[in-house]
Structure 1
Amino acid sequence: MLKIVLIRPGTTEYDQQGRILGTLDVPLADAGNAEVDVAIDQLRGQPIQALYTSPCESARQTAEKISGSLNLKCKPSDQLKNVDHGLWQGMLVEEVKRKQPKVYRQWMEHPESVCPPEGEMLDTARHRVEAFLSKLFKKHKQGTLGIVVPEPLAGLIESYLRRSELPASWNNVAGGGSWQIIEIEQPGLINV
């Protein structure tokens, strides 16, 4: 059996302000560093053998703190870059909601049907994640792996691994430094 420990980065100032992060490199806030420290203490009991991370600053900082504390090698992957929200990146969520209420509502209810201006569709990010996971499953048939990725990419990975639809709350932050274990009985049988 293969276990994936899906780890969200600690909170950034953008998260605290309600801004859309996307692919922007924003470091952890002080609160985010504290959240990662708590996560590290919780993760000490998990036999993580390898740690993969998104290349964004908050995920990289989170992964580096975890890898340093748990004596793991941190492996960044461009395939784990966050969803590109284009011109919405850096904007307040409330600003998008106010300026484009119909698009915002559709983005919340049917995110797969909306492409932010100069951004990417969720399907594009999903294919990137599926390609990454396919390679990961060929390399690792069993054991425990850590993957550090921000939202909404973490939600895409979770829905793929659980073979479920993207939850209605797909764009809500699950809490900085939060993590969950997803067990995969036969990784080679997941179709990509």
Structure 2
Amino acid sequence: MTKLYITRHGETEWNKLGKMQGWNDSPLTELGKVQAQWLRDRVKDINFSKIYTSSSDRAYKTAEIIKGDRNIEIVPSLDLREIRLGVWQGLTQEEISELNKENHYNYWNKPEKYITVEGAEGFEEVRDRAYRTIMKMVRENKGKEILVVTHTTVLKGFMCALQKKEIKDLWEPPFIKQTSLTVVEFDEDENYKIITNADASHHQYIFKEYNQF
């Protein structure tokens, strides 16, 4: 069996502000770093052959924290970056809604009706590059365990393609929390079994400053 572990980066400053990041970036918050530490502790006994990460700094920093002091190669990939959002990047949800309320609604609720904005990718493009990129990593690590650190839409797109679902089903539950863990096993014929999907049971909201979560 080849085992794929896939996660989303930790919380960022723009996540807190409700801003769309896309190919832009913002640093991890203190909570985001702690979330990565929680996942690090959860997977500390897994012998990853490699850690693949989006080249965006928020994902790369998450990967570094999960790696800790272990001798594991971290491989950045442009193709693991979040959906490119063009003119929406850096805007809040409210600002985007003011530009085009219907298209903003469709983005989150009826993705099959979302009209790609200027300078952006469509959901189909992200789904296809996510599947192509991640399955190539799976094939290059047969019989091994790998970790992929990426973004919500890439993860959702990959799972959508893997399960042969339609774009209209892209946002169906579960919600992808920061550093939640999805695990998929593949046999030699690339038949797959989903072991866990967006599981965040390792999140430990025990710190006073995080009680609101």
Q: Smaller-chain TM-score range? A: 0.7 to 0.9
> Cα distance 1:171–1:59, how it changes in 2: closer, same or farther (>3 A)?
farther
For structure 2, the 5+ residue unaligned runs are: 193-213
Segment of structure 1 superposing worse, 102-111 or 164-173:
164-173
Calculate percent identity across the aligned residue pairs: 23
Q: Secondary structure at the match of 2:159?
A: helix
Match of 1:125 in 2: 126
Aligned residues: 190
Q: Deviation of residue 5 (structure 1)? A: 0.5
**1:156-192 deviation digits (Å, cap 9, x = unpaired):** 12222343345453699622222121222345469xx
Closer, same or farther in 2 for the Cα pair 1:173/1:91, shift >3 Å?
farther
Q: What corresponds to 1:155 in structure 2?
A: 156
Which of the numbers 180, 184, 187 marks the counterpart of 1:185?
187
Q: Which residue of 2 aligns with 1:49?
A: 49
Q: Which range moved further: 163-172 or 38-47?
A: 163-172
Equivalent position amino acid for 1:142 in 2 = G
Which residue matches 2:177? 175
| C-alpha contact (below 8 Å) 1:141/1:188 kept by paired residues | no
Return the structure number with greater relative CO, CA threshold 8 A, min gap 6.
Answer: 1
CA distance in 2, matches of 1:85, 1:47: 35
SS at match of 1:183: strand
Bigger fraction of residues in helix: 1
Structure with more strand by fraction: 2
AA at the equivalent of 1:181: V
* Structure 1 Cα separation of the partners of residues 176 and 64 of structure 2: 20
Q: Provide the secondary structure at the position in 1 that maps to 2:152.
A: coil
User: What is the aligned-residue RMSD (CA, Å)?
Assistant: 2.4
Contact 2:53/2:63 (<8 A) preserved: yes
Contact 2:131/2:157, CA 8 A, preserved across alignment: no
Establish whether residue 13 from structure 1 lines up as the match of residue 4 from structure 2: no
- Report the Cα distance in structure 2 between the residues aligned to 1:149 and 1:165, rounded to whole angstroms: 21
Q: TM-score, normalised by structure 1?
A: 0.87
Output one character per residue of 1:99-141: Cα deviation in whole Å (capped at 9) or x when no partner.
3111112212332442122211122222322331342233122
Unaligned 5+ segments in structure 1 are: none
